Structure formats: structure tokens, C-alpha cells
């Protein structure tokens, strides 16, 4: 039986790490230089969050692993990120749809987590939430610009959201582990964040001339290590160097 707090911290860290890696894939490929810098900056913030969470997880585990070990030497089955963050970038519209859904949820999550009884988690969240507000704003601006743009950009935004709707529910799922930690005031009750998320999302979609979400049956399992094949490919790229040269130093 692992420590629930370790597992929870790993979930928070893995969400940030995997999305940070995904956004990093845009570096040098984004539509304009400004967008390239924006996506790299968001990736950097997320990898920074991941570092703080995984450092804490490593201390909690106290088994000789550090944050790098957790990031680079675990296999896909041991990752606890939600499925949304491991989705391939697709086109820029799909990336922005994913970013809006994730950042809106993460902003609400961290605002609440900043009041956690666990001081370390509270400190990381209070620091990061200031950054996440920028991420949510940037994603919302692009969703509005593209949704309310040309027929082509509107349709691509639609397709971007349609790909991701099935992964939204997982962001707000509570299992026994998180419910137990929430009773102690450590974890956030994710279900309580849903109304604010729905309201914020609706307002942005309306401004973007996009329809309300039509949620299909949710796909979940990331918190248990049940991932899609995409995560393995992402990890192969991310982990290749430290696994091939285990003691490599910059």
C-alpha cells in the first residue's frame, strides 16, 4: 500500500510534466514566433510545477529516488496523469482546445489547493496559480480568435474540442484515495470545481461562436496507469537520453 499523499502528489506532478513535454514538441514548429515563445513558456511553467511536485513526491516516498528518477525512469503504467494531457498535439486548434480545458481546470484546482492543510502542496499551488492564469487567458484568446475566425479556423476549433470532450470528466473524478485526502483538508474536492469550470467554459465558447459541449461517454483510467498508446511514444522521446546514458550530466 503506497502512501496516498505520494500518489496524489504524483498525479499533480505527472499532469504538469506530460503536458509540458507535449507543448515542448511545438518548439520551433508553432505558426508564428510569438506563439512559439508562448507555448514554450507555458511548457516551462508546467515543467517547473512538475519539478516541485515530483521533488516532494520523492521526499515522501523516501526510497532513494529523486524528481529526475521519477520523471525519467518510470514506465507508462506507473504514470498517474490524466488522459487529456497525453493527447497528441494535432493541429494548433486541437492544442488550444486541450490547453483551455486543462488550464481552466488547473486554475480552479490550484486556487483551492493553495488552501490545503499540506503546506508544501499549498505553497506549490499558490506559486503556480499566478502562472496558470496566463495559460488560461492565452488559450481563451486563441479559442475565441479561431472559433470566431474563418470557416476553416472555426471548423478546426470544433474538431479540436470534439477530440477532447471525452477526457474532461476525468479531470473532476474523485476516487477513494482523493476523497480520503480531501476529508483531511489535503486534497481538493474536484467535483466542487465543476460548476465554475462549466460556467467559464460556456462563456468562452459563446464568445468564440462555438456550440456548448456535447459530452460523449467519458474515457478514464489515467490515475490508475491505464493510458493510451500515445503516452508510450511521448515517454520514448522524453526518457530516451537519461535512460540511454543513466549518469549523464548537463
Partner 1 sequence: MVSTETFHSRVMAILADVPDPEIPALSVVDLGIVRDVRPDPAEVILTPTYSGCPATAAIEASVRQALDAAGLETVGIRTVLSPPWTTDWITKAGHEKLRAYGIAPPAPSGETPCPLCGSHDTEEVSRFGSTPCKSQWRCRSCLEPFDRFKCH
Find the binder of partner 1 among 27, 31, 91, 130 (CB under 8 A).
130
Residue 247 CB, shortest distance to partner 1, in Å, is 18
Among 17, 19, 23, 42, the residue binding partner 1 under the rule CB under 8 A is 42
83 or 85, CB closer to partner 1? Answer: 85
In the bound complex, what is the minimum distance in angstroms from residue 1's beta carbon to partner 1? 29
- Among 9, 21, 51, 99, contact with partner 1 (rule: CB under 8 A): 51
Is 28 one of the binding residues for partner 1 (CB under 8 A)? no
CA pair distance 222, 71, nearest whole angstrom: 16
Q: Report the first-to-last Cα separation within the chain, whole angstroms.
A: 36
Min separation Cβ 11 and partner 1, Å: 17
Q: Which residues contact 234 (CB under 8 A, 6 or more apart)?
A: 18, 21, 22, 86
From 190, 236, 234, 195, select the one nearest 11 (Cα to Cα): 190
Enter the DSSP assignment of 225: T
Nearer to partner 1, 49 or 87 (CB): 49
Q: How far apart are CA 23 and CA 89, in angstroms?
A: 8
Pick from 212, 232, 236: nearest CA to 162: 212
| Segment 141-148 long-range contacts (CB within 8 Å, at least 24 positions apart) | 142/92, 142/96, 143/96, 143/97, 143/100, 143/204, 143/205, 143/208, 143/210, 144/204, 144/207, 144/208, 146/92, 146/93, 146/96, 146/208, 147/205, 147/207, 147/208, 147/209, 147/210, 148/207, 148/208, 148/209
Give yes or no for residue 137 binding partner 1 (CB under 8 A): yes
CB of 96 to partner 1, least distance (A): 14
Chain positions 61 to 120 lying near partner 1, rule: CB under 8 A, are: 119
Q: Give backbone dihedrals phi and psi of 114, rounded to 5 degrees, phi first.
A: -60, -20
Choice between 46 and 168, CB closer to partner 1? 46
Between 135 and 164, name the residue whose CB sits nearer to partner 1: 135
CB 107, min distance to partner 1, A? 14
Nearer to partner 1, 45 or 170 (CB): 45
Any contact of residue 34 with partner 1 (CB under 8 A)?
A: yes
Contact positions vs partner 1 (CB under 8 A): 20, 34, 37-38, 41-42, 44-49, 51-52, 119, 122-124, 126-128, 130-131, 134, 137-138
Amino acid at each position: 500500500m503506497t502512501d496516498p499523499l505520494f500518489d496524489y502528489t504524483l498525479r499533480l506532478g505527472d499532469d504538469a510534466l506530460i503536458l509540458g513535454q507535449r507543448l515542448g514538441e511545438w518548439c520551433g514548429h508553432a505558426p508564428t514566433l510569438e506563439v512559439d515563445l508562448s507555448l514554450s513558456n507555458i511548457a516551462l511553467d508546467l515543467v517547473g510545477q512538475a519539478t516541485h511536485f515530483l521533488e516532494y513526491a520523492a521526499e515522501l516516498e523516501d526510497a532513494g529516488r529523486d524528481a529526475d528518477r521519477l520523471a525519467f525512469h518510470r514506465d507508462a503504467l506507473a504514470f498517474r496523469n490524466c488522459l487529456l494531457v497525453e493527447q497528441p498535439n494535432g493541429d494548433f486548434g486541437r492544442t488550444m482546445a486541450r490547453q483551455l480545458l486543462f488550464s481552466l481546470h488547473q486554475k480552479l484546482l490550484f486556487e483551492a489547493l493553495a488552501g490545503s492543510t499540506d503546506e508544501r502542496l499549498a505553497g506549490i499551488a499558490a506559486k503556480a496559480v499566478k502562472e496558470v492564469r496566463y495559460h488560461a487567458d492565452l488559450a481563451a484568446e486563441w479559442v475565441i480568435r479561431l472559433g470566431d475566425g474563418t470557416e476553416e479556423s472555426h471548423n478546426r476549433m470544433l474538431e479540436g474540442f470534439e477530440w477532447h470532450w471525452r477526457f474532461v470528466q476525468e479531470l473532476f473524478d474523485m476516487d477513494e484515495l482523493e476523497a480520503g485526502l480531501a476529508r483531511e483538508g489535503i486534497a481538493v474536492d474536484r467535483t466542487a470545481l465543476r460548476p465554475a469550470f462549466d460556467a467559464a467554459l460556456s462563456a468562452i465558447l459563446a464568445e468564440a461562436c462555438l456550440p456548448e459541449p456535447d459530452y460523449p461517454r467519458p474515457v478514464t483510467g489515467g490515475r490508475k496507469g491505464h493510458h493510451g498508446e500515445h503516452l508510450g511514444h511521448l515517454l520514448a522521446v522524453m526518457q530516451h537520453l537519461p535512460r540511454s546514458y543513466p549518469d549523464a550530466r548537463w
